[in-house]
Amino acid sequence: MIHFAIVGCGHIAHKHAKAMKLAQDAHLYAVCDTNRISLDDFIVKTGAIGYSDYSAMLDDPKIDVINICTPSGLHERLAVQAANAGKHIIVEKPVALDLESAARIQEACLRNGVKCAVVHPNRFRPAIVELKKMLEQGKFGTISHVNATVRWNRNQAYYDQALWRGTKAMDGGVLMNQAIHNLDLLLWLMGPVKHIQALTTTRLRDIEAEDVAAALLEFESGVVGMVEAASTIYPKNYEESLSIFGEKGTAVIGGPTASWIKHWAFEDSVQADNEQLIRRIEADPHGIPGHQQIISDMIGAIREDREPVVTVEDGRNALKLVLDIYEAADRNATARSFVQPGAAH
């Protein structure tokens, strides 16, 4: 049995606790939060040992893995502490809010010989797994372009739940919080990005970070990528999609979450086989929950002494792409500010 501990008893921690119940050989041993109400509620619901002092929890020799479920701005400090205490780590996305913090997490894990996984669970969705197979088999031929779309709702009440939500120092906006999963998928499927044009803005929510973003990517392979992300969709989550277009194949994964096959056509495929695949995905679009897969993979990584499927480096790459989009948007904003209304250009 591998003993896990959760720090941060907010909304996402409940997904981790549920995943531990479902994963074989995983046991939620302890939880930690400075908010006594949240902590006591979590203790009652899970039966775990409760700590209000993180350092004290790290001193417990029974704990094998720390799951970091706090606001993003705290990830670095908590992860480095856990690594220095010899604990393996599962950290919620984003791995950190800047590249220097991500590097310090990575260095601490290497120095202390501990594993660290970043929670990017969308890679485990059945439709995405099938999409990855088709790419690896070369079924698309030369790919012309890809598209990632997140059209979701995070209303003002969502951001008003806590002062840190929507801030640049502790949280970030729609790219850092929602669309980072889709950016991770693009990197996992298409490889590195070499050029970006972008625009980000805050249209409807009273927050510091962006609630709408659009980016045009050029991958090192020459593939063109388009990203649209918004947390302003009324009245609820509408669409999350991932599309790939190639000379010999087209695939669109969509729905409220990118879990259903909306289009699946390949030059050398049999239509009956395509329809059978679509029906199989529709029967169980989510498969084994992504958080459960992350937990189980960490157990395997510890026992087999290997890297987790989603590494700190993977988390850093997704973070870097978000930051590069922000930088491109800033360049774009600066360029636009030099163009006067009505001026010839």
How wide is the angle at C-alpha 42 spanned by C-alphas 39 and 46, nearest 5°?
Answer: 140
* Whether the predicted pLDDT of 121 surpasses 70: yes
The pLDDT, as a whole number, for residue 22 is 97
The pLDDT, as a whole number, for residue 128 is 98
199 versus 340: the higher-pLDDT residue is 199
Domain boundary among 114, 131, 162: 114
Task: Give domain status of residue 344, yes or no.
Answer: no
Domain identity same for 58 and 160: no
The pLDDT, as a whole number, for residue 166 is 97
Task: Give domain status of residue 334, yes or no.
Answer: no
* Whether the predicted pLDDT of 345 surpasses 50: no
Domain identity same for 127 and 274: yes
How much of the chain, in percent, has pLDDT values that exceed 70?
97
Of 47, 54, 51, the closest CA to residue 81 belongs to: 54
pLDDT digits over 198-236, tens only?
999 999 999 999 999 999 999 999 999 999 999 999 999
Average pLDDT, the chain: 96
Tokens matching residue 129: 């797994």
Domain identity same for 144 and 275: yes
Peptide bond into 94 cis (omega under 30): yes
Task: Give domain status of residue 339, yes or no.
Answer: no
| CA 211 to mean position of chain CA atoms | 17
Of 130, 159, 135, the closest CA to residue 260 belongs to: 130
User: DSSP secondary-structure letter at 68?
Assistant: E
Mean pLDDT of the region 37-52: 97
In single-letter form, the type of residue at position 59 comes to D
pLDDT digits over 287-331, tens only?
999 999 999 999 999 999 999 999 999 999 999 999 999 999 999
pLDDT digits over 5-20, tens only?
999 999 999 999 999 9
pLDDT digits over 53-78, tens only?
999 999 999 999 999 999 999 999 99
Give how many domains the chain has, as a whole number: 2
Mean pLDDT of the region 79-95: 98
Task: Give domain status of residue 315, yes or no.
Answer: no
Domain identity same for 255 and 126: yes
Q: The domain spanning residue 245 has which CATH number?
A: 3.30.360.10
Task: Give domain status of residue 171, yes or no.
Answer: yes
Domain identity same for 283 and 164: yes
Task: Give domain status of residue 322, yes or no.
Answer: no
Q: Whole domain around residue 65: which residue ranges?
A: 2-114
Domain boundary among 114, 134, 161: 114
pLDDT digits over 156-169, tens only?
999 999 999 999 99
Give pairs for 154-159: CB < 8 Å, separation 24+: 154/178, 154/205, 154/211, 154/231, 155/205, 156/205, 156/206, 159/205, 159/206, 159/207
The whole-angstrom separation of Cα 201 and Cα 199 is 7
Q: The domain spanning residue 84 has which CATH number?
A: 3.40.50.720
* Whether the predicted pLDDT of 93 surpasses 60: yes
Domain identity same for 105 and 170: no
Domain identity same for 174 and 258: yes
Domain identity same for 96 and 136: no
* 342: confidence class by pLDDT, cuts 50, 70, 90: low
Instruction: Tally Cβ neighbours within 10 Å of residue 33.
Output: 24
Domain identity same for 156 and 277: yes
Domain boundary among 114, 130, 160: 114
The pLDDT, as a whole number, for residue 339 is 57
The whole-angstrom separation of Cα 151 and Cα 265 is 25
Mean pLDDT of the region 260-286: 96
Q: Is 319 exposed, middle or buried (0-12, 13-18, 19+ CB in 10 A)?
A: buried
